[in-house]
Amino acid sequence: SQQGEEDPQALSIQEGENATMNCSYKTSINNLQWYRQNSGRGLVHLILIRSNEREKHSGRLRVTLDTSKKSSSLLITASRAADTASYFCATVQGAQKLVFGQGTRLTINP
Amino acid sequence: EAEVAQSPRYKITEKSQAVAFWCDPISGHATLYWYRQILGQGPELLVQFQDESVVDDSQLPKDRFSAERLKGVDSTLKIQPAELGDSAMYLCASSLAGAGSYEQYFGPGTRLTVT
């Protein structure tokens, strides 16, 4: 069963622009993680934000978490062609289970 | 840099045949996960091991799927018999401990096509 829902499902922007993806979830969480997946490959962990945190930065990535709205956003600034990938949010439920959303397919046009 | 290894990378099999996937996690990672990812969707957990013990296999179709991690290191996922609906990417991941506090490291996956 999928927990999170990413929005939009697909996003196409020009290189250099900022990309924003949103994730909504349904149940209480311990933390929320974002992963990137290049076409046909495994997933790569990008960032983890805990339920008591509101914002976190890592390089060109900025993640926010609003537990009252059960939502998170991932912002990629100054996008590059290499950022073209699918991005997934994943929530940690209960003790240890990681539940992924459907993903946002991001395309960066040169 | 240490990586999660998976083999084979691609597998084509006929329905009703048996198929097996192998995963070697990053050394020292106690927790190992098998996910199934249907095209266009996010990964779905099939089974989670803590060392050699199964922690969660609630989404594993146990009538045809089996998984083992006998010595708490590498793991095998088996499907017998394979069905057309099993066509998907099978991903293995590992982490130092449970998903709660640690990131998961994913292997490249095995793309299964059942004909």
Write the Ramachandran bin of A4: left for phi over 0, alpha for psi from -120 to 50, otherwise beta: beta
- Examine the pLDDT at A2 and tell me if it is beyond 70: no
Q: How confident is the model at residue A95 (pLDDT cuts 50, 70, 90)?
A: low
Over residues B4-24, the pLDDT tens digits come to: 999 999 999 999 999 999 999
Over residues B52-71, the pLDDT tens digits come to: 999 999 999 999 999 999 88
Measured CA to CA, the distance from residue B75 to residue B23 in angstroms comes to 5
Q: A103 vs chain B: nearest CA distance in angstroms?
A: 6
- Examine the pLDDT at B99 and tell me if it is beyond 70: no
Structure tokens that stand for B75 in this block: 């793991």
- Examine the pLDDT at A31 and tell me if it is beyond 60: yes
Residue from A28, A33, A25 nearest A58 by CA = A33
User: Which residues on neighbouring strands pair with residue A72, listed in sequence order?
Assistant: A23, A65
Q: In chain A, what residues touch B101 (CB-CB under 8 Å)?
A: 31
Structure tokens that stand for B74 in this block: 């590498």
Q: Which of residues 70-99 of A touch B (CB under 8 A)?
A: 88, 90, 92, 95-99
Asked if residue B19 lies in contact with residue B13, where contact means CB atoms within 8 angstroms, the answer is yes
pLDDT, mean over chain B: 93
Residue from A85, A99, A110 nearest A23 by CA = A99
**Contact assignment for B104 to A98 by CB distance below 8 Å:** yes
B110 part of contact set with chain A, CB < 8 Å: no
| Ordered DSSP codes for B7-64 | E-SEEEE-TT--EEEEEE--TT--EEEEEEE-TTS--EEEEEEETTEEEE-TTS-TTT
Residue in A closest to B47 by C-alpha: A97
